[in-house]
Amino acid sequence: MLASPATPLRFSRLLLTGAAGGLGCELRARLKSYCDELRLSDIQALKPPQAQAGEDIQLCPLQDEDAVMALVQGVDAIVHMGGVSTEQPWAPILAANIAGVVNLYEAARKHSVKRVVFASSNHVMGFYRQDEVVNAKSPPRPDGFYGLSKAFGEDVAQLYWDRWGIETVSIRIGSSFPEPRDRRMLATWLSYDDLERLVMAALTAPVVGHSIIYGTSDNQASWYDNSLAKHIGFKPQDSSDVFRAAVEERQPVLDRADPAVIHQGGGFVKAAPQG
């Protein structure tokens, strides 16, 4: 893939937020191959907690404006995986996913960072039915506070592109695990290798503006149409289909009156915030 000088294939310093989370841990090991230094951040200790070769660790709560400003200084691009990643009461989502994403983009603006990869979520679209196919132009239908916060994050990304020229690829991540856990995930599954391919495509595509792409592998069953994101150059190479027989054996019967079966968001459409 060709890139302009503003979108190199190798970076001097990348920032990965949410580095202690499940996907953050995966990307920590993978992104170091693409940069001279990988800056890692979270609110909790990483595993291992010590910085390895080519790493810089800075623990930082996203709601702390000054700390985020310091965190972003000197980075070439940001892979933003940080924040609350499940349905929770409004207060922690407000702090990390609403105030936090604004703090991150303000820091990017002030430090002239021009590319962000934003971990959005399939839960932005969770109240669409499983017999519908959505694309990047379909209106959001969040399935809870978490999905709502990710829709807000996408709007922030659009604002900072329109007004200040900061490019973002918003990845509506499906279900990224070693293998799909249930029949819903046969449609939403994203392998770790395809996650790496997608993040790097998002970082290195020459021009993205603000682009939305659904983060799934090449699954036979899918509710997501990525035809509007071909310019990103993501070509998934894995598929949930190799797990289909085992998943269907574990879950042979579905309750078709269950909202979690009807809607794309699965259990999130009926999850009550805890607290």
Flag whether pLDDT at 122 surpasses 50.
yes
* pLDDT for the residue numbered 3: 39
Q: Residue range 167-189: average pLDDT?
A: 98
pLDDT tens track for 183-208: 999 999 999 999 999 999 999 999 99
* pLDDT for the residue numbered 272: 72
Flag whether pLDDT at 37 surpasses 50.
yes
The whole-chain average pLDDT of the chain stands at 95
Flag whether pLDDT at 116 surpasses 90.
yes
* pLDDT for the residue numbered 8: 57
* pLDDT for the residue numbered 80: 98
- Catalytic-role residue among 34, 105, 128, 146: 146
Flag whether pLDDT at 2 surpasses 60.
no
* pLDDT for the residue numbered 10: 86
- Give yes or no: 146 in active site: yes
* pLDDT for the residue numbered 9: 76
* pLDDT for the residue numbered 273: 66
Q: How confident is the model at residue 274 (pLDDT cuts 50, 70, 90)?
A: low
Q: Residue range 86-101: average pLDDT?
A: 97
* pLDDT for the residue numbered 36: 96
Percent of the chain exceeding pLDDT 90 equals 92
Q: Which domains does the chain have, with CATH numbers?
A: 11-270 (3.40.50.720)
* pLDDT for the residue numbered 271: 84
pLDDT tens track for 210-237: 999 999 999 999 999 999 999 999 999 9
Quick one: three-class SS letters along the chain?
CCCCCCCCCCEEEEEEECCCCHHHHHHHHHHHHHEEEEEEECCCCCCCCCCCCCEEECCCCCCCHHHHHHHHCCCCEEEECCCCCCCCCHHHHHHHHHHHHHHHHHHHHHCCCCEEEEEEEHHHHCCCECCCCECCCCCCCCCCHHHHHHHHHHHHHHHHHHHHCCEEEEEEECECCCCCCCCCHHHHECCHHHHHHHHHHHHHCCCCCEEEEEECCCCCCCCECCHHHHHHCCCCCCCHHHHHHHHHHHCCCCCCCCHHHHECCHHHHHCCCCC
Higher pLDDT, 169 or 271: 169
pLDDT tens track for 6-32: 455 789 999 999 999 999 999 999 999
